[in-house]
Structure 1
Amino acid sequence: MAIYVTRPGDSLYDIATRYLRNPADWTRLARINHVSAPRRLQPGTSLRVPVALLRQDHLSARVIATSGPAGHAFGNGPLLPLVVGGTLVEGDRVQTGQNGFATLELADGSHLVIPPGASLDLATLRETALTGATDRVVNLHSGQVNTEVTHATRKDDRFQIRSPSVVAGVRGTSFRVNYDGDKGSTAVEVLEGAVGVDAAPHGSAASVAPAPGMPLAASTQLVAARHGSLTLAGGAVGGPVALLDAPDLRNPAKVQDDETVAFDLAPTTGAHSYRVQVGRDAGLLDLIGDAHSDGPHIEVGALADGTYFARFSAIDENGLEGMPSTYAFQRRRVSLGASAGRVEGTRDYAFRWFVDQRRAGSTRFRFVLATSSDLRAPLVDRTDITDGEAVVSDLPKGVYYWTVIAEQFEGGRYFQKASPVQSFRLDW
């Protein structure tokens, strides 16, 4: 039962029209509350209202970020591209392709972050009249969904992610659900809070999804923070397993100036593979990259210049993804080419270089020439060169090593890029 406290001018007809699915059910309210004068209710009277009679209003979800191939369709309709600012409703299907990402925001501020290769339905998005309780159910058909759920404020609030094998129910937490259709297995990984995991209604285990309002403790398995659960096809709900620790990034201050963005992680004990996700924001709601690697060296690919955020995790032998670590990094592509050769008819040796012309005007150069590959005792160390050439005269016979360093200062930050150390031999 829900309780409604009457206000001046209320009648059972008005209350039924405002809150009930069927206004004609005012007669049931009259019987339950022993009301003999439905048109004249005393203000301040507490009326009992069966929750089953209350109207459920539809909620919506908003697309706040998308990248790459990501579409939606209502029911079995054709897929249409997701558009930032667009609205999705109960019954909508969302699908991401290779290198496709989407992030949805629900009415209460909860987020669904959908990486590549996922398919899900917004099965239920509703709010109950009078009580304000929300009911949100997502059916995950394939792939993964990362979820950040705001804490429930009412005992009847429900948030569930359902795969073909399990139901994961929460009352406010951060967790991931990954359904592998080929294996029929579902992984649930809890980062914060707790998640109740039950077998899907058609699964082999005895328990099913908890009803709205049922405490998480009534679930088949309660998975706490920093733990995961792996349920195999045809098996019982998997027990809690400790997740691997978040990996550390080596050289986190490195400017990503090579053609390919790549990271080196400190090896994590128990890791069989690693994952990195790249986004434009610190919360990684606006994802643009997702890569896996068997080892701690992991490549993302080419990115435009800018500031990004990378989230790393280690994956154990069972495929459970561990705790994440997030780092900001600067991407600044500096294309630097260099060559050297004798000036015809002279004893001069000329060194030439070039950089990406988009920034050539804001670049200064440093030229270093030495007789050892470590360049520790340079014969020449010229700085603040504005053009792309240096000429050295009267070098004696021997082997020489050199490099040129492009230096840029922009936006209050200093950037530099050195060419590979090159060598040459003079025999004259």
Structure 2
Amino acid sequence: MGKLALSVATFSLAMCLCAPAKAEDTISYKVVRGDTLIGLAEKYMLRTGDYRIIQKRNRIADPRMIPVGTTLKLPRALLKFQPSTARLSSVKGQVTMIDGSTAKAASSGLLLAEGQAVKTSGGSFASLLLEDGSRISVPSNTDLKIVRLRRYILESALDYDFQVDRGSARSKVAPLKSANDRYQVRTPRAVSAVRGTDFQTRFDENTNRDFAEVDEGALAVGVKSGETLSVPAGNGLAVNADGSAITEALLPPLNIEGAGKLQNDISVRFALSDQKPAIRVNIAKDAGFEEQIAEQIVSGETADFGNLDDGNYFFRARAISANGLEGLPATYAFKRRLNSVSGTAGASDEGWVFKWSGQGRGTIRYNFQLFKGNTDGPAFVDETGLTEQQIILSELPDGDYYWRVGSVQFADGETNTNWTPLEKIIVASN
């Protein structure tokens, strides 16, 4: 993994593998035998006459005689290219594709081109798959514009440039094959250019600050004073409105006990016992979190996602520091199989009536248990395989009792049981 360089004068984040940030708008080309500037311009440039610009910038005396091995710098803006595309691989909720003054609802599989934009509303998510296999996850409340999406004729170099005007974008960048390939994401004060890494860029409208959090790689950060700040892997950076920078270690992954357990109650809930100022939590259908379905920022003890469809999911949590930087992720796989049950008990002329109701797919059978005195020993009444949703016990000796109902679900070749909490009744003769 190469180092990244960041200039906070304009808050630009750029790779230091080949060329400094100022040279990022050019492509390098090494001259081979037979090359001339006019020939190169005819083959690779939009206008043949622009060879004079290349001659001047590279200080070439004779455009027809260039020493073999000379490295030329060719401005990207002058080069021929083939348009590339970005495919919406996942869409959930209200996602809009914007093309100039035209806006339309986006759907999975839609191809996006240079100059178009994606807008997600609250509770909506999208993922983009690029030609080289790189992916961009677009969470809720984000405006993402495709500034540049092209493959140059020269060396088939890729040029991907995205702009986040609101919200955030997480990029998983495929290792670039050419030193001239470029992948960058802009925020109001940032241009983040990386190779083969997983990083997030954000702009927070409330605090008017830009953020970058990198799980892999290393950053070298240059600030206005000329000082260089080292930001190693597992660290993050925030830039204030005045251009000053804050760097700090990302908070470690949270240990969330029980996060991988089966979720069978009506609401999918996670207990967040390891409290931080706030925690960002996400649920997705895939481990890469490209098919996100829910996101929250939680400051309490519980993350409640409501009633989700049955399925296999992934839960991710990131602790947020006092400076607003999101920590390293803790990710858990869990199953969602709705199998809820609740019950009531009451006395009647026929005896004690216990009723219950349940929700869930597949075949459901119920277990009823009644314990006398305490729950340490075997049940006083233990009925299994019930299809009815009530039981009447006509004769119960005086005493204290504890009861519960279990819902046994048979679905998708699996069996799971969910019990109501133990509840107490007191039987006393009149």
Is the alpha carbon distance of 1:3 and 1:252 closer, same or farther for their aligned partners in structure 2, counting shifts above 3 Å? Answer: same
> Which residue number in structure 2 is paired with residue 311 of structure 1?
316
Is the alpha carbon distance of 1:197 and 1:154 closer, same or farther for their aligned partners in structure 2, counting shifts above 3 Å? Answer: farther
**Given the alignment of the two structures, is residue 368 of structure 1 paired with residue 364 of structure 2, yes or no?**
no
> Which residue number in structure 2 is paired with residue 148 of structure 1?
172
Distance across 2 between alignment mates of 1:375 and 1:305: 34
Distance across 2 between alignment mates of 1:11 and 1:272: 62
> Which residue number in structure 2 is paired with residue 158 of structure 1?
182
Q: How far 1:110 sits from its partner (Å)?
A: 1.1
1:257 to 252, 264, 274: 264
**Given the alignment of the two structures, is residue 233 of structure 1 paired with residue 241 of structure 2, yes or no?**
yes
> Which residue number in structure 1 is paired with residue 10 of structure 2?
none
Distance across 2 between alignment mates of 1:196 and 1:89: 32
User: What letter corresponds to residue 64 of structure 1 in structure 2?
Assistant: S
> Which residue number in structure 2 is paired with residue 353 of structure 1?
356
> Which residue number in structure 1 is paired with residue 3 of structure 2?
none
1:2 to 21, 25, 29: 29
> Which residue number in structure 1 is paired with residue 414 of structure 2?
413
Counterparts in 2 of 1:162-177, with a 5 A limit? Answer: 162-177=186-201
**Given the alignment of the two structures, is residue 62 of structure 1 paired with residue 98 of structure 2, yes or no?**
no
> Which residue number in structure 1 is paired with residue 23 of structure 2?
none
Task: Say if 1:170 and 1:194, in contact at 8 Å, map to a contact too.
Answer: no
Stretch moving more, 112-121 or 13-22: 13-22
2:160 to 127, 136, 139: 136
Counterparts in 2 of 1:283-302, with a 5 A limit? Answer: 283-302=288-307
Q: How far 1:415 sits from its partner (Å)?
A: 1.1
State the TM-score, normalized to the length of structure 2.
0.82
Task: Say if 2:210 and 2:240, in contact at 8 Å, map to a contact too.
Answer: yes
Is the alpha carbon distance of 1:104 and 1:357 closer, same or farther for their aligned partners in structure 2, counting shifts above 3 Å? Answer: closer
> Which residue number in structure 1 is paired with residue 214 of structure 2?
190
Q: How far 1:185 sits from its partner (Å)?
A: 0.6
Q: Secondary structure at the match of 2:102?
A: coil
Is the alpha carbon distance of 1:33 and 1:224 closer, same or farther for their aligned partners in structure 2, counting shifts above 3 Å? Answer: farther
> Which residue number in structure 2 is paired with residue 328 of structure 1?
333
Distance across 2 between alignment mates of 1:417 and 1:50: 67
Distance across 1 between alignment mates of 2:104 and 2:249: 40
Is the alpha carbon distance of 1:352 and 1:84 closer, same or farther for their aligned partners in structure 2, counting shifts above 3 Å? Answer: same
Distance across 2 between alignment mates of 1:124 and 1:222: 30
Distance across 1 between alignment mates of 2:222 and 2:209: 13
Distance across 1 between alignment mates of 2:323 and 2:118: 28
Q: Secondary structure at the match of 1:321?
A: coil
> Which residue number in structure 2 is paired with residue 127 of structure 1?
151
Q: How far 1:291 sits from its partner (Å)?
A: 0.9
Q: Residue deviations 1:344-385, cap 9 Å, x none?
A: 3x5x433232323754xx122211101246464421122222
Distance across 1 between alignment mates of 2:174 and 2:79: 24
Q: How far 1:339 sits from its partner (Å)?
A: 2.9
Distance across 2 between alignment mates of 1:134 and 1:421: 63
Is the alpha carbon distance of 1:119 and 1:198 closer, same or farther for their aligned partners in structure 2, counting shifts above 3 Å? Answer: farther
1:244 to 240, 251, 270: 251
Identical aligned residues as a percent: 31
Distance across 2 between alignment mates of 1:328 and 1:46: 53
Residues paired across the two proteins, number: 393
Task: Say if 1:168 and 1:196, in contact at 8 Å, map to a contact too.
Answer: no
Stretch moving more, 130-139 or 19-28: 19-28
* RMSD, matched Cα: 3.0
Task: Say if 2:90 and 2:126, in contact at 8 Å, map to a contact too.
Answer: yes
Counterparts in 2 of 1:64-143, with a 5 A limit? Answer: 64-75=89-100, 77-143=101-167
Stretch moving more, 383-392 or 100-109: 383-392
Task: Say if 1:61 and 1:89, in contact at 8 Å, map to a contact too.
Answer: yes
Q: Residue deviations 1:86-125, cap 9 Å, x none?
A: 1111111221111011111121111111111111211122
Q: Residue deviations 1:371-421, cap 9 Å, x none?
A: 246464421122222333333342112222211101123334321111232
Q: Secondary structure at the match of 2:380?
A: strand
Is the alpha carbon distance of 1:301 and 1:350 closer, same or farther for their aligned partners in structure 2, counting shifts above 3 Å? Answer: closer
**What runs of 5+ residues in structure 1 fail to find an aligned partner?**
36-44, 200-204, 208-218
Q: How far 1:264 sits from its partner (Å)?
A: 1.4
Higher relative contact order (CA 8 A, sep 6+): 2
Task: Say if 2:311 and 2:335, in contact at 8 Å, map to a contact too.
Answer: yes
User: What letter corresponds to residue 277 of structure 2 in structure 1?
Assistant: H
Q: Secondary structure at the match of 2:63?
A: helix
